[in-house]
Structure 1
């Protein structure tokens, strides 16, 4: 089996079988996230259980300390100096978000992706941008938790990262972006939902990711799905799968916010823009 089409068909069959069985075979880039999820599911889990898992991934540990000392979470002049203090300051949602930031970043930089690595890096940039906007919009509106919005932003295209991780076993497919894009577009939504459920993501976040293509059309925003929808359209880094050009994205944003008070929306966008820059700096390290 040495053609891109044949490998695409083989991977599609593998994915279909996994979804039908209700059991995903996870690529290794999600190992730490899965271990953290399993630990958090246990009622007996405390910091003494969670911290060694995080320390298995030194990059994640370092990034958590950096995030705890960032403008997003620093409310005093006392810097965090160790991992225990960082986790206590950040909370569980932020730990899970940054675990995904680190995991997807490492996948996007994997040598095994070959020519698809540029695609993966653009996807990572897009997800970080959406997460930063989601955090900023949520913080400005106060309608939903900013930390949950950040997590939803990082997760909203997790199905695409999962498929890229699986595609590393199909090198001919990675050499043909058209075939790879077609496969990802076909499978990323059902795969994304299955991945979110396997990671133990709260159902309201799973539903918001599924419903992000719908907007209530009025202020105040009606929930996490609205925040994620606006964050997707506001993001300056497009998903590499989309064929939307800038005028199209701007027109969609204008149409989606048509029923909103323009002055109020412009004020929200301006305020969120500053917060987004702080979130971007924190997420990118």
Structure 2
């Protein structure tokens, strides 16, 4: 009984926080800061069907940090199967392709958009989710290839990068409620908020839908062939297993997405070991 006066304000603040998120999600009026201008210009340029590699490279020069990331990506084990190092930006863009350059741009843009106050207790959580998004993106790209979805590998990578963008939003808005941000809140609210954000940004519906349903592990679908949602679910499970955060109760045989991608308890460790160098190089390039 003596604790009641202390608990009530916390419950009221939590309710206020959740009501604010609910209202914005329901109305789709999410208070989203715009992408930094240079990144928005690059993304628009990348979607121009008449753009040339040279035009893209010239625009990238205006974003030095992005140039560095593009070169690191082009030399990563994930995207540089030949092992030949490049230092020329034109060659790097040509090697990666515009879809991968777009993913790198989105990665840095979202990093700039969602921030928390310096020294905040939320900084660790935000950085952790950012690294997780890059690792899931790498697994998504590789799993798309492994499962015969090569044509969708770049969309799978982009979906991986954006899969926890709703969590980024929650953390960036939670500086007044740092003690109220829990895994449960992020798991329950993050996908829906992420779906709304990605839709508002104009990304393909296949990506926003995958983000929205990413936590519905037991959802059965009529399709026998895997889609981006299946890839994201499996990529998250592999990332969790790699980082030691895997739920010991996970039964891969009960998860339809794992069955579609031929992933089970007997080969998870083998898949992680096979992809280790490529995933690590991608994370190093984009974290």
Structure 2 CA distance for aligned equivalents of residues 264 and 13 of structure 1: 39
Q: Does 2:226 correspond to 1:191? A: no
Q: Which residue of 2 aligns with 1:280?
A: 280
1:84 aligned residue:
90
Corresponding residue SS for 1:114? coil
Cα distance, 1:39 vs. partner? 3.1
Larger helix percent: 1
SS in 2 for 1:71: coil
1:143 to 139, 142, 149: 149
Match of 1:230 in 2: 234
Q: Does 1:164 align with 2:171?
A: yes
Q: Give yes or no for contact 2:191–2:213 (8 Å, CA) kept in 1.
A: no
Q: Structure 1 residues 43, 262: closer, same or farther in 2, change over 3 A?
A: closer
Residues 234 and 257, structure 2, Cα contact 8 Å, conserved in 1: no
> 1:51-100: CA deviations, max 9, x gaps?
45533432221011111122222244653223222222112221222234
Structure 1 residue 201 and structure 2 residue 203: aligned?
yes
CA-based RMSD: 4.1
8 A contact 2:210–2:229 mirrored in 1: yes
Q: Which runs of 5+ in 2 are unaligned?
A: 1-8
Aligned length: 272
Residues 43-62 of structure 1 correspond to what in structure 2 (within 5 A)?
43=49, 45-47=51-53, 50-51=56-57, 53-62=59-68
Structure 1 CA distance for aligned equivalents of residues 116 and 62 of structure 2: 19
Question: Structure 2: how far apart are the matches of 1:123 and 1:40?
Answer: 27
Shift, 1:110, TM fit: 5.6
Task: Tell me the equivalent position of 1:39.
Answer: 45
CA distance in 1, matches of 2:195, 2:262: 36
The answer to which structure, 1 or 2, has the higher relative contact order (CA under 8 A, 6+ apart) is: 1
**1:167-202, CA deviations, whole angstroms, 9 ceiling, x for partnerless residues?**
4xxx3323x2x3465654554233211221233222
| TM-score of the pair, normalised by structure 1 | 0.73
On the 8 A contact 2:77/2:83 being kept in 1, the answer is no
